[in-house]
């Protein structure tokens, strides 16, 4: 039963060795079976909104590698899409949205939000019944700041300058956008837990571009709100926060947001990671390019993490998503290195 889910044990603060492992973006283009299903589905969004396809691709990496956690297959941008913003994914370009203006923020459609996301909830329900009992099912959402950056710019940017400028020039409108996203994302996560998610992860992929004050108001405060809303309904559900690139701002993040687990990107020094582990579980943080390179770069990266963090609560993961060019034998090698590790 769920007592055997090692990822949940670690998130409660237990040290498990060898540590449980999974990979961010584990269902993705590096897998030929993912590329085949994606082709059958048509577009990326068709894949996200069709429970048959979404379940199929979520299970692919579990079948192949036997990871300890399965993350729902979807995207952080289904939230603005479900609020009525248009969204498409272009080959080689990533997500494209119509940039939102200050005047449009009040027009976001919250009434049909859950109806639009029903296929995602159905996917979660089916996953919980299809997954091995010992596999933790992770639901997720994007953090309001990261989701807002895409809504404002309309596409990915290297430094999120459009969103930062919007936030400084139109502070009231920006605050209301973050508020709406926090409330809706909390409701979205609550539904995912209701449907069978055992744990949740909040992705703040762009928290590394902000100054100290903006990190507090744009990243910490909205995530703290989501965590408290979810905990009003599910006081015990474990939540992993991933403030990618937060650097020195990682130190206060767990305490200030209330998350149980801290997702660490690969730039976090392992000594700092060890100190963060004194406060609870950490997840990470292999450089995804060590996995692309394989060989000694991979073995040394895995060893360093296990050596420094293996004695405490650790979920082994990459420091960001796996990239499409990663060779599958390198993933198999990483799984072997972690699973056969000795203390």
Binding site for ligand CP3 (CB under 6 A): 24-29, 38, 44, 71, 73-77, 89, 94-95, 140, 142, 146, 156, 203, 205, 321
Sheet holding 314-318, edge to edge: 69-71, 136-142, 199-204, 239-243, 261-263, 282-286, 314-318
Q: How far is the CB of 203 from ligand CP3 (least distance, A)?
A: 4
Q: Which is nearer to ligand CP3, 5 or 38 (CB)?
A: 38
Could you say which of 64, 75, 216, 234 is catalytic?
Answer: 75
Q: Which is nearer to ligand CP3, 30 or 113 (CB)?
A: 30
Q: Which is nearer to ligand CP3, 43 or 101 (CB)?
A: 43
Q: Which is nearer to ligand CP3, 272 or 323 (CB)?
A: 323
Distance separating alpha carbons of residues 342 and 147, to the nearest angstrom: 40
Instruction: Centre a 10 Å sphere on the Cβ of residue 204 and count the other Cβ atoms it contains.
Output: 29
Active site residue 128: no
Give the chain's radius of gyration (CA, Å): 19
Could you say which of 5, 25, 254, 290 is catalytic?
Answer: 25
Q: How far is the CB of 292 from ligand CP3 (least distance, A)?
A: 14
Could you say which of 5, 34, 38, 198 is catalytic?
Answer: 38
Could you say which of 12, 29, 231, 339 is catalytic?
Answer: 29
Could you say which of 30, 34, 49, 150 is catalytic?
Answer: 150
Active site residue 150: yes
Active site residue 38: yes
Distance separating alpha carbons of residues 29 and 26, to the nearest angstrom: 9
Q: How far is the CB of 71 from ligand CP3 (least distance, A)?
A: 4
Q: How far is the CB of 40 from ligand CP3 (least distance, A)?
A: 12
For 177, half-sphere exposure in the C-beta direction (CA atoms, 13 angstrom radius) is 30
Distance separating alpha carbons of residues 209 and 250, to the nearest angstrom: 14
Q: Which is nearer to ligand CP3, 146 or 260 (CB)?
A: 146
CB 79 within 8 A of CB 184: yes
Q: Which is nearer to ligand CP3, 146 or 257 (CB)?
A: 146
SS3 content of the chain, % helix, strand, coil (to 5): 55, 15, 30
Q: How far is the CB of 171 from ligand CP3 (least distance, A)?
A: 24
Taking the mean position of all CA atoms in its chain, how far away is CA 276?
Answer: 19
- The residues that bridge with 94 in the sheet, in sequence order, are 90
Active site residue 159: no
Instruction: Centre a 10 Å sphere on the Cβ of residue 91 and count the other Cβ atoms it contains.
Output: 7
Q: How far is the CB of 28 from ligand CP3 (least distance, A)?
A: 4
Active site residue 25: yes
Give the pair of three-digit tokens for residue 184: 């809706």
Q: Which residues are catalytic?
A: 25, 29, 38, 75, 150
């Amino acid at each position: 039963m769920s007592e055997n889910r090692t990822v949940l044990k670690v998130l409660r603060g237990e040290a498990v060795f060898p540590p449980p492992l999974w990979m961010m973006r584990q269902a993705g283009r590096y897998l030929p079976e993912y590329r085949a299903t994606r082709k059958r589905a048509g577009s990326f969004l068709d894949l996200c909104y069709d429970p048959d396809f979404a379940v199929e691709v979520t299970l692919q990496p579990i079948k192949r590698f036997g990871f300890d956690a399965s993350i729902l297959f979807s995207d952080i941008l289904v939230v603005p899409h479900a609020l009525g913003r248009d969204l498409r994914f272009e080959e080689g370009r990533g997500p494209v949205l119509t940039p939102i203006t200050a005047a449009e923020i009040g027009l976001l459609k919250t009434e049909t939000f859950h109806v639009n996301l029903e296929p995602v909830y159905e996917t979660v329900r089916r996953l919980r019944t299809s997954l091995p009992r010992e596999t933790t099912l992770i639901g997720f959402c994007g953090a309001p700041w990261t989701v807002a950056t895409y809504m404002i710019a309309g596409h990915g940017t290297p430094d999120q300058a459009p969103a930062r400028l919007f936030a400084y020039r139109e502070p009231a409108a920006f605050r209301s956008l973050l508020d709406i996203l926090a409330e809706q994302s909390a409701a979205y996560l609550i539904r995912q837990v209701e449907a069978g998610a055992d744990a949740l992860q909040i992705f703040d992929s762009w928290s590394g571009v902000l100054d100290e004050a903006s990190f507090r108001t744009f990243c910490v405060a909205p995530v703290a709100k989501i965590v408290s809303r979810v905990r009003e309904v599910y006081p015990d559900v474990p939540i992993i926060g991933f403030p990618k690139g937060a650097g020195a701002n990682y130190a206060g993040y767990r305490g200030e947001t209330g998350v149980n687990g801290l997702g660490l990107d690969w730039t976090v020094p392992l000594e700092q990671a060890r100190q963060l582990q004194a406060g609870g579980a950490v997840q990470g943080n292999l450089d995804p390019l060590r996995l692309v390179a394989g060989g000694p770069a991979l073995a040394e990266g895995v060893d360093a993490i296990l050596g420094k963090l293996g004695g405490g609560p650790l979920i082994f993961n990459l420091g960001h998503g796996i990239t499409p060019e990663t060779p599958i034998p390198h993933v198999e090698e990483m799984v072997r290195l972690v699973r056969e590790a000795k203390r």
